[in-house]
Amino acid sequence: MIKPHGSDTLNPLYVADDAKRVALLKEAESLPSLLLNSAAAANAVMLGAGYFNPLTGYMTLADALSVCDSLKTSSGLFWPVPILNVTKESGVKKGKLALRDPNVEGNPVLAIMDVQGVEPVSAEQLSAMALQIFGNVDPQHPGVATFTGLGNTVLSGPIQVLSYSYFEEEFPGTFRTAVEIRDEIAKRGWKKVVAFQTRNPMHRAHEELCRMAKERLNADGIVIHMLLGKLKDGDIPADVRDACIRTMVEHYFEPNTVMITGYGFDMLYAGPREAVLHAVFRQNMGTDYLIVGRDHAGVGDYYGPFDAQTIFDDKVPEGALKIQIFRADNTAFSKKLGRVVMMREAPDHVPDDFIALSGTKVRAMLGAGIAPPQEFSRPEVAKVLMEYYQIADAAKA
């Protein structure tokens, strides 16, 4: 199986030993505590689950600036996006600190941090980093707005993770750590594995893209890996996406060819940089390829359609990652050929030869109880989405 990023073995920061974890939770009661923001909490969950191997905790400001500038930490580790704990709280001291979860009622302890650095970060530094991470500093960009509003103090140091926040309880059949996915891949006997990233329900084109990648790479299986954390307003909730994907896989994929999993992270909408981060943690979970499609991890029109592919040529040094990417174009149903194709592979087609629907039109159809054409969305999946949109529209009325 492919090795993790930056080490020979995976280094999850979750304290798996029950007795040790209980003792640390008891110790946390006597420690000063900090209520995290959602971004820092998501980083803790990803560190705990092994996805951010080989990091041992939150980055220093110097590491963050280095990552933004050169995609390397100060020590030379290849890394695409800073993993930070930035806070608005003043007066945090070095030493042990209980980190509390902002996303669970009662704010239970999520992790214990050994705070080794407490550094001021200026608005100018945050803006400069945002420009490098997101390619812009537009306050309307959801990732920029979140990042620049986190606070003015960077806390750095190793952490011991004591909880996976709400993800285990709310998504018990879907949330999986990098360790668990590696174990499942081995159990299934898969030797070559493809990962598919999604924050959306999977329509017919996504389904066929996964199938194309599996067949062309001669892979044994596909890990559909969905984001379960926070999204921007208007995105479809994780439980609905989960139901759609499970319905699609159950009806249209052969047994033991697809693993449905999810991870506890908030969407960054960082386009190319986030695509590289996606590759890093898919390598950590044991997959050999990541499908990178058009406007991967993008939002609005902030990124070029294939910037998330070309960054692997322009900014990722040879050998920095062991995982490879499968480069995908727009996929759509060809009326000429009677099947889903990558548009670049149908040079004899004109736009009218494809069934292409805008997201706005599809949402309007679903909200009205009208299923999109079967060439666009499987009827079983459309049914799940129609029920969601009708309930959502009724709640707004």
| Distance in angstroms (rounded) separating the CA atoms of residues 180 and 170 | 17
| 85 annotated active-site | no
Q: Of the residues 21, 152, 188, 199, which is catalytic?
A: 199
Neighbour-count burial of 125, counting CB atoms closer than 10 A to its CB (0-12 exposed, 13-18 middle, 19+ buried): middle
Verify whether residue 200 is a known catalytic residue.
yes
Q: Mention every residue, 6+ apart, whose C-beta is less than 8 A from residue 133.
A: 68, 81, 82, 143, 147, 268, 270, 273
Closest CA to 68 of 121, 123, 126, 115: 126
Peptide bond into 139 cis (omega under 30): no
Q: Angle CA(135)–CA(285)–CA(234) in degrees, nearest 5?
A: 45
Q: What is the DSSP string of 79-143?
A: -SS----EES-----SEEEEEEPTTSTT--EEEEEEE-EEEE--HHHHHHHHHHHHS---TTSHH
Which is catalytic among the residues 200, 327, 330, 363? 200
Nearest to 313 by CA among 338, 337, 292: 292
- The tokens for 293 are 């499609």
Residue 368's contacts (CB-CB under 8 Å, 6 or more residues apart) are none
The strand pairing partners of 155, in sequence order, are: 118
Q: Is 383 helix (H, G, I), strand (E, B) or coil?
A: helix
**CB neighbour list of residue 328: distance below 8 Å, 6 or more residues apart:** 209, 212, 213, 291, 292, 293, 294, 342
E-state strands within 264-360: 289-292, 324-327, 331-334, 339-342, 354-355
Q: Where are the alpha helices (DSSP H) in the chain?
A: 18-28, 38-48, 61-70, 123-134, 142-148, 167-170, 178-188, 204-217, 238-252, 272-284, 307-314, 359-367, 379-396
Sheet arrangement for strand 221-227: 258-263, 221-227, 193-198, 289-292, 324-327
Catalytically annotated residues: 199-200
